[in-house]
Amino acid sequence: MGVTFYIAAAIAVLSTIMVLTRFNIMHALLWLVVSLLSVAVIFYLYGAPFMASLEIIVYAGAIMVLIIFFVMMLNLGPEMYRQEKQWLKPSLWLFPAVFCVILLGELVYLIAQNRTPATGIKVVEAKAVGLSLYGPYLLAVELSAMLLMAGIVGAYHLGRQKKKTVHRFLESNVS
Amino acid sequence: MTLAGILFTLGLVSMLIRRNMIFMLLSVEVMLNAAGLAFIVASSHWGQPDGQVMFMFILAMAAAEVSVGLALILQLYHQLKTLDSDAASRMTG
């Protein structure tokens, strides 16, 4: 528990600091993925392997892809090509890659060791989570379904481009 | 638990000092993540599944929040041609 937890925690804090101090949004996203992965390793350490996989799939997978597509959609102009060359420099992806390799090694070590977690930590199985989720928390599940539905509708409504109804001779004056 | 506090504080500080909207959204993500970490640690400390259930709700909420927030940023970008949050402080139609 001890050493592995501190390594993962140090990587989490470092990569979060790197997220917050980057000026390029793509670099920040790369570091944020590293931070989420290290938090997932900490979840695994704390006896929640199902939550660790959910963290990777939903956070580091879905939400990051959403933000990356959004950044692409903004299409920040012709300097993208110049930046594209810069992005392929190894100094940018080297440290995130090294951190990811460290986290992966830690996880493989933990799985291969296959011991019970340290004292004071109780493993909560996914079965108990499922039983609790659809038992006493059924109303909250319905509410989160409604929240997701509202999120879909709201994102569609807000993200829609308005059709221009202005007459084409007036259009030049408007802008 | 201390780690969750540190991560939450980092997210909060970044939220306050950055003026780029996407970075503000990212720092909200960091803060939500720290809250989820606190839930997981508490859940394993007491051996109850409630904390993990709460973490799943945090995940669902974060997904909905990100999608709506990104749509709002998109609209603001088309209106104002910038991602500066100070430019949107007036909200005059």
CATH of the domain at A11: 1.20.120.1200
pLDDT at A117 over 60: no
Find which of A56, A67, A138, A157 to mutate to test the B interface (most B CBs within 10 Å of its CB).
A67
Most A-contacting residue of B8, B17, B52 (CB-CB within 10 A), to test interface: B52
Q: Write down the pLDDT at residue A175.
A: 46
* Interface predicted TM-score (ipTM) over 0.90: no
Interface of B with A in 25-54 (CB under 8 A): 25-27, 29-30, 33, 36-37, 40-41, 43-53
Give the sign of the dihedral formed by CA B38, CA B41, CA B47, CA B51. Answer: positive
Average pLDDT over chain B, rounded to an integer: 78
Q: Is A147 part of a structural domain of the chain?
A: no
Pairs across A and B, CB distance < 8 A: 155
Cross-chain residue pair B10–A128, CB shorter than 8 Å: no
Domain count across chain A: 1
State which residues form the domain around A15: 2-122
More confidently predicted of A76 and A137? A137
**Residue percentage of chain A with pLDDT more than 70:** 74
Name chain B contacts of A73, Cβ cutoff 8 Å: 74
Tell me how far apart the alpha carbons of residues B84 and A78 are, in angstroms, rounded to a whole number: 20
Of residues B87, B76, B68, B83, the one with CA closest to residue B23: B83
User: How far is the alpha carbon of B19 from chain A, nearest alpha carbon, in Å?
Assistant: 11
In a domain, A136, yes or no: no
Does A39 reside within a domain?
Answer: yes
Query: What residues contact residue A144 under an 8 Å CB cut-off, 6+ apart?
Result: B57, B60, B61
Instruction: Identify whether A108 is part of a domain.
Output: yes
pLDDT band at residue A30, thresholds of 50, 70 and 90?
confident
d(CA B84, nearest CA chain A) in Å: 13
Classify residue A146: in a domain, yes or no.
no
- Judge whether A155 lies within some domain: no
pLDDT band at A83 (very low <50, low <70, confident <90, very high): low
- Classify residue A166 by its DSSP letter: S
B contacts of A9 (beta carbons < 8 Å):
3
Concatenated DSSP letters of B53-82:
HHHHHHHHHHHHHHHHHHHHHHHHHHHHSS
The reply to whether A29 falls in a domain is yes
Say what the pTM is.
Answer: 0.77
A75 versus A119: the higher-pLDDT residue is A75
User: Does A127 fall in a domain?
Assistant: no
- Residue B93 has a pLDDT of 47
Reading phi first (left if > 0) and then psi (alpha if -120 to 50, else beta), residue A75 is in: left
Q: Is the pLDDT of residue A77 over 80?
A: no
Average pLDDT of chain A is 77
